[in-house]
Every structure is written in C-alpha cells, then in structure tokens.
Amino acid sequence: MNYSLLVLASPLSGGTANRSACRFAEAVISRGHALRRVFFYDRGAETALATAVTPPDSEDLRSAWLSLAEENATELVSCVASGLRQGVLDDGEAARHARPRTQLKGFTTGGLGLLVDAIAGSDRVVTFGESMDP
Amino acid sequence: MTPSVIVISRTPPQGSSRSRAALDAALALAAFDQPVALLFLGAGVLQLFPDQDGRTLGRRDLYRQIESLPLYDVEHVWAEQEALETFGLEAVVLPDFVSVVGLAELRHRLGRAHQVLTF
C-alpha cells in the first residue's frame, strides 16, 4: 500500500508523538509498503529546524527522519507557512526575509497543496499530533 | 453525498495554533476541488461560539473565517451534538450552514470516508 504521513507534533516539545511517527514510518517501510511523503505541518514543521541541538542523552529524531528518507526516497516536506512562524527558512525564504537559512538539508519546503496531493495519491494518510488536552 | 476527506478539529479556538491549522487544511482541500467535510468535535465546538474575535488576543480572526467557509467551497460543516451539550452551547445560534450531528451518525460517516485527518 501507498502511505503518507501528516506530522503535527514537534520533536522539541517533550512529547512522544513525533517519535511515534518516525517509528511508524520505519514500520510501514519494513512491511514492504511505500511511504511517499511526510508532511510536517503546524508545530511539526520544527522537525526541519537545523539550529535546534539535541542533547547527547536524547534520541536525535531529525537524523532518524533523514536517514529514513534517504534510504527510501521518501519526501520530507515542511510546510512553508508553519515553518516561517517557527524559524524554519529554506534558501528562498532566508533571502526574502534577510535571515540565515535554518532548514535542515534533506527537507523540502511546500504549501498545503502538497498535503492535498499526498491525500489524493495515497491509500492511507496517518496523522500524528500531540494531545492538546490540558 | 459523503465527502471523501473529513478534517476533524477538536481543539478550542485559542491556546494553540492547531485550530487554525485544521481550518487551513480544510480550505486547501476545497481549493483543490477535494470534497471535504470539516467536523468540530469535542472542545473543537468552542470555535463555533458566536461573536468571538481573536484579534483582541492579537491573533487572526478565526471565527470570521469559519463564517466564510461556504464561500470557499467547504460545503459540509458538522458540529458534534454531544459536545455542544457538554459545553452548554445547545441554545447558541450557529452559522446556518453548520449541521449538528450525533456521535452515532458521525461514527458511520467517519467509517465511510476515504481519508480522515485529525487535528
């Protein structure tokens, strides 16, 4: 089957949903399914933030996402509008706003059209968000 | 007709950017001609409380954008009946395009949708 993921949870939040998404992505692939695209939206866009440093005693989820994408031709897309609010700038946005580039290499930037395209072109789309309950 | 994609919005209007993200996703699906329903579930129904203005909190006005959903071809907008009761909103006047739907029927509709996105 053809899967895409929608990731709303940040790897920096202290929660576990971003990690669950990454583990799920690995499981999808190891079962022989195709993982076309992961769309990082809302706080999930922080997954592409190059300037955040993972402490040595914690798992570096960014490198897990990157190696998964590299080995399986999965597209990692960070939402451009969410990214701007959280300081994730690709080369184009960095130039436009006169700031340094902060997007991790290996991620691409895109709008919600790429999420719509993933929904239309996948058998399954699975959302990973953090509970927003108080 | 059952829409092929259901976007579930279950967070209150303020307190996080998640409500805005759900609304933008529904609008994007409609803009690309995907038949979409936006479902306000649980605390998400608080987004439908009338005359709220996010600008007083220095944010964009979510409620005004919800009011304009039909203009942007989001034709199905549903609110969970049980949640409206929980939050004491049964007597509140909702925008006329919002249908109030009970959980049993929602379960049925969610089961028939091609994709469900939960915010």
B-interface mutation test, from A43, A116, A130, most B Cβ less than 10 A away = A116
Between B16, B32, B119, which is nearest A113 by CB? B32
Q: Which of A37-51, A103-117, B56-70 has the lowest mean pLDDT?
A: B56-70
Is the model's pLDDT at A90 over the cut of 90? yes
* Mean model confidence pLDDT for chain A: 95
Q: Chain A 10-69, CB below 8 Å of chain B: which residues?
A: 41-43
**What's the rounded mean pLDDT across residues A59-83?**
95
Task: State the pTM of this model.
Answer: 0.94
State the Cα–Cα distance between residues B46 and B62, nearest whole angstrom: 11
Q: Which residues of B touch A129 (CB under 8 A)?
A: 18, 118-119
**What's the rounded mean pLDDT across residues A117-122?**
96
pLDDT for position A130: 81
pLDDT for position A65: 97
Is the model's pLDDT at A132 over the cut of 80? no
| Contact check, Cβ <8 Å, B34/A82 | no
pLDDT for position A133: 59
Report the residue of chain A nearest B36, measured CA to CA.
A116
pLDDT for position B2: 67
**What's the rounded mean pLDDT across residues A99-118?**
97
Whether the CB of A9 is below 8 Å from some CB of chain B: the reply is no
Residue B117: name the closest of B13, B44, B59 by CA.
B44
- Neighbour count for residue A1 (Cβ, 10 Å): 11
pLDDT in tens, chain B (119 residues): 568 999 999 999 988 999 999 999 999 999 999 999 999 999 999 999 988 888 888 888 899 999 999 999 999 999 999 999 999 999 999 999 999 999 999 999 999 999 999 99
State the Cα–Cα distance between residues A109 and A90, nearest whole angstrom: 7
Distance from CA of B44 to the nearest CA of A (A): 11
pLDDT for position A14: 84
| Contact check, Cβ <8 Å, B118/A129 | yes
Q: Which of A6-10, A129-133, B16-20, B56-60 has the lowest mean pLDDT?
A: A129-133
State ipTM.
0.91
Token reading at B83: 């949640």
Between A6, A82, A116, which is nearest B28 by CB? A116
Distance from CA of B58 to the nearest CA of A (A): 15
Is residue B29 within 8 A of residue B69, CB to CB? The reply is no
| Contact check, Cβ <8 Å, A119/B29 | yes
Between A8, A122, A124, which is nearest B21 by CB? A8
Q: What is the set of active-site residues of A?
A: 79
Is the model's pLDDT at A74 over the cut of 70? yes
pLDDT for position B1: 56
Alpha helices by DSSP H, listed for chain A, are 17-30, 61-72, 80-85, 91-97, 112-121
pLDDT for position B3: 83
B-interface mutation test, from A3, A6, A8, most B Cβ less than 10 A away = A8
